[in-house]
Amino acid sequence: MSVISLQDVTKIFGKGEASTMALDDVSLDVDKGEFVAIMGPSGSGKSTLMNVIGLLDRPTAGEYLLDGEDTSKVKGKARARIRREKIGFIFQSFNLLSRISAVENVSLPLVYKGASHVERLEKAAKLMEHVGLGDRQYYMPNQLSGGQAQRVAVARALINEPSIVLADEPTGNLDSVASDNIMQLLKEIHNEGNTIIMITHNPDLAKQSDRIITMVDGRIDSDKKVTKKPGSKLKAKSKKGRTK
């Protein structure tokens, strides 16, 4: 069953002469539990695709079904609720609020859900433990290293137990050790049966996913499953079943 289904989705920014077509007739199906990597040059529409999937933006044309539901019919508060309950966002630049502590950042989505103070901090504390930062709960974001901050962001993305995690260049600002840490966490999340869509520039990281989609000029250029056999040369199988 497709959890994410885009049909002929187009997204145009601006008007008239100054308009840009960020997405051009994109169709895409993602099943539950898939780990998808999206690659492509700058301006190819990756982030826009992610924003549409994450309900942060609306298509100019085309249909987007999330869990079988037509998202164009969902407005305002309901959109925010779905975003909160089904989707977790991880950004390249962490996007933590600098004036509150790490654990408060993690618990923030629960504030908007209406959970009580105690409940929020309990859940957030557990997640911080889970990402290995149990002893840094009350640190402020600017007191954390890049890797630590991103782990806080991952914890935050997970607090509402979403089934879909969207990560936009999650390791872009991190060194290799921290990078590995984050990828480890993502794989754990994936193993629990969640769907992950990750934008990356790094082919090595992309290969850790199940499926690599490349985009060029607002269109999907290629869409290949990844086969992982330790030690052997990577054989890429295209979606249509032909081996290269």
Partner 1 sequence: MLWVNIKLALASLKSAKLRSFLTMVAVIIGVAAFTIITTTVEGLRASFAEQINSYGGNLIAVNSGKIFDRDESGDITDINFAAGLTPTLTEQDFLDVVDTEGIVVAAPMSPVSGIVRRGETETGSLIIATNQNWAEALNQKVKDGVFLRDEDGDKKTVVVGADVSSDLFGGGGLGSTLTIGGQSFVVVGVLSKSESSGLGLGPDLNNAVFISLESGKELSGGSLLISEIDAQTADPENIQSIVGTIEQKLLENHSGEQNFAVATQEELTKVFNGFIDILKLASQAISYIMLFVGGIVILLIMLITVGERTREIGIRKSIGATSSNIMTQFLTESVVITLIGSLIGLAVAYLVGLLVAAQTGITPVYSAITLVLIVVIGTIIGGLAGLYPAYQAAKKDPVEALRHS
Do the beta carbons of residue 60 and residue 12 sit within 8 Å?
Answer: yes
Shortest distance in whole angstroms from residue 155 CB to partner 1: 12
One residue of 46, 156, 190, 211 binding partner 1 per CB under 8 A = 156
8 A C-beta contact, residue 213 and residue 38: yes
Q: Which is nearer to partner 1, 114 or 193 (CB)?
A: 114
- CA pair distance 127, 156, nearest whole angstrom: 8
Residue 213 near residue 223 (C-beta atoms within 8 A)? yes
> What is the number of other CB atoms lying within 10 angstroms of the CB of residue 160?
18
CB atoms within 10 A of CB 196: 22
Binding window for partner 1 (CB under 8 A); candidates: 34-42, 48-56, 66-74, 129-137: 48-56
Stretch that binds partner 1, among 2-10, 74-82, 187-195, 226-234 (CB under 8 A): 74-82
Q: Tell me, by CB under 8 A, how many residues bind partner 1.
A: 26
Question: Least distance (Å) from partner 1 to the CB of residue 241?
Answer: 37
Q: Which stretch binds partner 1 (CB under 8 A): 65-73, 80-88, 195-203, 222-230?
A: 80-88
Considering only 29-37, 76-84, 200-208, 225-233, which stretch makes contact with partner 1 by CB under 8 A? Answer: 76-84
If we measure between CA atoms, which residue out of 83, 93, 88 comes closest to residue 106?
88
Q: Is 111 in the site for partner 1 (CB under 8 A)?
A: yes
Residues found in the chain: 244
Residue 81 in the binding site for partner 1 (CB under 8 A): yes
Of 33, 60, 84, 222, the residue at the interface with partner 1 (CB under 8 A) is: 84
The residue (of 99 and 239) whose beta carbon lies closer to partner 1 is: 99
- Which of 2, 43, 3 minimizes the C-alpha distance to 23? 43
For residue 109, state whether it binds partner 1 (rule: CB under 8 A): yes
Interface segment toward partner 1; rule CB under 8 A; list 83-91, 192-200, 218-226, 233-241: 83-91
List of residues contacting partner 1 (CB under 8 A): 51, 54, 56-57, 76-77, 80-81, 83-84, 89, 91, 95-97, 99-100, 108-109, 111-114, 117, 156, 160
